[in-house]
């Protein structure tokens, strides 16, 4: 999920490794997955077995906490994990990610559509048959006209992914250029009498159903305002609707009186009668509130100095899950010294991933990364080109090799600016990088910026950023969401705040292989995954970025809560929690 700074998690500072007690506790509750071996869902207390809704556990008010609200309520505009997580029990699209824990949560299932679409015209035409009887929280039935209007609206409100996820729809190019007058009359065609919606693409897109399953493709009533709704809630189709929202205080969700479960996979009935989401407490105070059963969960990761306590006294209430994400360094391929491949490789050899894992919070909160595609993600291959003495896994840096490469590149003594966010963890990582770059022969300067601006700042070439620390969380489970989005020529736009290819890496040979992989996906996903794995390895040889670690999610829940399930796509399933 992009852009991944808003969806990225608040950071955890730690001076020492996480205690052995928490690590042992997490062994029982951590979800570690591989594509071939779906895990059992971790739970504390025990989760419900898959199957029908358990009426005995319905009711109660779930109490959630966060340091701050996450901005607009508009599902076609908001791009944060914090609210995307809630939207899973509020809004629906034609398709949805399956609401379960583990690898199955990456599976796309029909939602407002009654079945998978009929696909014709060599993958360019999709025909969806709408389910009958589904209503918005206003009581109005969902129609084909609502679907058409919703696709046009996502362009009119300039949804963050309008020009990347949905620009392949016929007519979308004009909508991107002139959003306010967007018309998709040739690209999204509704037939009210037949209850169908036909979507036409300019070219086949094997990832299109993934894109229809994220919140930006939410279906809203036809009359919804063609602007960001801000703090004003829009009608929902899922189990919950918004009763009130004050970003400085709280968000309250209550049951949608017009909701009836139509698909346990796509939109299951929710258990709590209400969800109170309060903002403003410090993370320390929030942890204490959950310990005392005054609250049930906190969005923000627990501070490192509380981890030992949680891992011992509250071990049964702690759940740790590996995330399909990575933190990485961008090396500007178009500015000295990193317009030199040897200089870029030197940074990869020099950085001690284990040291950075410790700065993030220890091995229970992150693991060293060598690859762009995260472990457990489609097409991931275990390899590690930049570890001392070789191997498929990270072992240690090789500073001597890094120093040699700096000398060979002729870039020794050059000044390198390191741009990081100004919070404690990012700054500590930045200080480490400054020390290492100085040791291998550069004049390193640390440039911390406010988290509110750093992400857009490092994208704009006019700011001449040489090296930056950033992060990426998947939008959906496809290798292209990392390799194509982050490192293709099409993702680089000079002078733009929205140039997500921050390294400015544009290699024609690599681009051609990316296009081949995209085309192969249309007919042979297994072969395409093989190609994506090779592309990951080939890009790393050119060293445009430095993967440093894959983060993990720590969820601390109260004793009042049961049926904990962790979706790899949208994380903890809030609506499926039981509340005593």
CATH number of the domain residue 422 falls in: 3.10.105.10
Burial pattern 197-215, b for ≥16 Cβ within 10 A else e, equals bbbbbeebbbbbbbbbbbb
Angle among Cα 209, 371, 318 to the nearest 5 degrees reads 75
Last residue of one domain, picked from the residues 230, 259, 274: 230
**Residue position matching structure tokens 């599976």:** 107
pLDDT of 199 above 90: yes
Identify the band that residue 293 occupies on the pLDDT scale cut at 50, 70 and 90: very high
Domain that holds residue 367: 325-553
The answer as to whether 6 is a domain residue is: no
The answer as to whether 548 is a domain residue is: yes
- 96 with 211, same domain: the answer is yes
Q: Residue 19: how many CA atoms within 13 Å on its side-chain side?
A: 15
The answer as to whether 190 is a domain residue is: yes
The answer as to whether 169 is a domain residue is: yes
Classified as helix, coil or strand, 101 is coil
Q: Quote the number of domains for the chain.
A: 2
Task: Compute the distance between CA of residue 391 and CA of residue 382 in angstroms, rounded to an integer.
Answer: 9
Which pLDDT value is given to residue 331? 98
Long-range contacts at 310-315 (CB < 8 A, ≥ 24 apart): 310/22, 310/556, 311/18, 311/19, 311/21, 311/22, 311/23, 311/24, 311/25, 311/26, 312/19, 312/21, 312/22, 312/25, 314/556, 315/21, 315/22, 315/25, 315/28
The answer as to whether 252 is a domain residue is: no
pLDDT (tens digit per residue) in 332-359: 999 999 999 999 999 999 999 999 999 9
DSSP code per residue over 38-71: PPPPP-SSPPPPSSS--GGG---EEEEEESS--S
- 226 with 335, same domain: the answer is no
The two structure tokens encoding residue 39: 């895990």
- Please, what is the end-to-end C-alpha distance for the chain in angstroms? 33
Task: Compute the distance between CA of residue 34 and CA of residue 375 in angstroms, rounded to an integer.
Answer: 8
- 208 with 339, same domain: the answer is no
The answer as to whether 9 is a domain residue is: no
| Spatial CB neighbours of 555, under 8 Å, sequence gap ≥ 6 | 297, 318, 319, 320, 321, 564, 566, 571, 572
Helix boundaries (H) for 219-340? 283-291, 307-313
The answer as to whether 5 is a domain residue is: no
Higher per-residue confidence, 295 vs 421: 295
- 215 with 331, same domain: the answer is no
pLDDT of 11 above 50: no
- 467 with 331, same domain: the answer is yes
- 411 with 519, same domain: the answer is yes
Indicate the pTM of the whole model: 0.80
The answer as to whether 250 is a domain residue is: no
* Nearest partner of 215 among 111, 137, 66, judged by Cα: 111
pLDDT of 24 above 80: no
pLDDT (tens digit per residue) in 211-238: 999 999 999 999 999 999 999 999 999 9
pLDDT of 7 above 70: no
Identify the band that residue 50 occupies on the pLDDT scale cut at 50, 70 and 90: low
Residue 167: CATH number of its domain: 3.40.190.10
Q: At what angle do helices 508-521 and 480-487 cross, to 10 degrees?
A: 150
The two structure tokens encoding residue 533: 């794995």
Task: Compute the distance between CA of residue 391 and CA of residue 243 in angstroms, rounded to an integer.
Answer: 55
pLDDT (tens digit per residue) in 76-104: 999 888 999 999 999 999 999 999 998 89
């Amino acid at each position: 999920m992009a852009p991944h700074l808003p969806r990225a998690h608040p950071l955890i500072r730690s001076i020492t490794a996480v205690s052995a007690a928490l690590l042992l506790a997490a062994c029982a509750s951590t979800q570690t997955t591989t594509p071939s071996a779906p895990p059992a869902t971790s739970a504390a207390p025990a989760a419900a077995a898959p199957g029908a809704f358990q009426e005995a556990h319905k009711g109660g008010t779930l109490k959630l906490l966060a340091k701050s609200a996450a901005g607009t309520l508009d599902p076609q505009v908001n791009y944060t994990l914090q609210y995307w997580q809630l939207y899973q029990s509020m809004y629906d699209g034609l398709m949805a990610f399956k609401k379960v824990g583990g690898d199955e949560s990456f599976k796309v299932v029909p939602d407002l559509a009654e079945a998978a679409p009929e696909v014709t015209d060599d993958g360019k035409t999709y025909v969806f048959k709408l389910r009958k009887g589904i209503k918005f929280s206003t009581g109005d039935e969902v129609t084909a006209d609502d679907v058409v209007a919703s696709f046009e609206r996502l362009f009119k409100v300039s949804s963050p992914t309008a020009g990347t996820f949905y620009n392949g729809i016929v007519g979308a190019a004009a909508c991107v250029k002139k959003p306010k007058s967007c018309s998709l009359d040739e690209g999204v065609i509704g037939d009210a009498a037949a209850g169908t919606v036909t979507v036409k693409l300019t070219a086949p897109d094997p990832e299109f159903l993934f894109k229809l399953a994220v919140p930006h493709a939410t279906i809203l009533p036809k009359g919804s305002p063609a602007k960001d709704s801000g703090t004003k809630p829009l009608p929902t189709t899922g189990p919950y609707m918004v009763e009130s929202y004050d970003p400085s205080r709280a968000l309250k969700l209550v049951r949608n009186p017009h909701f009836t479960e139509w698909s346990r996979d796509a939109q299951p009935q929710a258990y709590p009668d209400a969800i109170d989401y309060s903002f403003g407490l410090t993370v320390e105070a929030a942890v204490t509130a959950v310990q005392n059963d005054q609250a049930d969960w906190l969005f923000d990761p627990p501070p490192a100095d509380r981890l030992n306590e949680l891992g011992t006294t509250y071990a049964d209430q702690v759940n740790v899950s590996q995330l399909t994400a990575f933190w990485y360094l961008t090396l500007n391929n178009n500015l000295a010294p990193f317009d030199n491949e040897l200089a870029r490789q030197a940074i990869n050899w020099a950085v001690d991933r284990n040291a950075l894992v410790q700065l993030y919070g220890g091995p229970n909160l992150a693991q060293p990364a060598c690859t762009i595609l995260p472990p457990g993600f489609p097409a991931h291959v275990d390899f590690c080109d930049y570890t001392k003495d070789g191997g498929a896994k990270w072992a240690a840096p090789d500073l001597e090799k890094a120093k040699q490469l700096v000398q060979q590149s002729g870039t020794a003594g050059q000044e390198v600016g390191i741009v990081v966010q100004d919070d404690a963890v990012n700054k500590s990582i930045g200080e480490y990088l400054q020390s290492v770059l100085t040791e291998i022969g550069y004049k390193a300067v640390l440039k911390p910026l406010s988290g509110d601006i750093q992400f857009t700042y490092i994208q704009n070439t006019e700011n001449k950023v040489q090296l930056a620390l950033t992060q990426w969380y998947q939008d959906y489970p496809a290798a292209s969401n990392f390799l194509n989005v982050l490192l293709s020529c099409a993702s680089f736009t000079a002078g733009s705040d929205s140039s997500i290819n921050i390294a400015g890496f544009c290699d024609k040979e690599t681009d051609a292989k990316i296009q081949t992989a995209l085309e192969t996906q249309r007919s042979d996903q297994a072969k395409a995954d093989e190609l994506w794995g090779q592309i990951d390895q080939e890009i790393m040889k050119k060293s445009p970025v430095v993967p440093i670690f894959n983060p993990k999610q720590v969820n601390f829940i109260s004793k009042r809560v049961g049926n904990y399930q962790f979706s790899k796509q949208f994380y903890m399933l809030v609506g499926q929690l039981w509340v005593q």
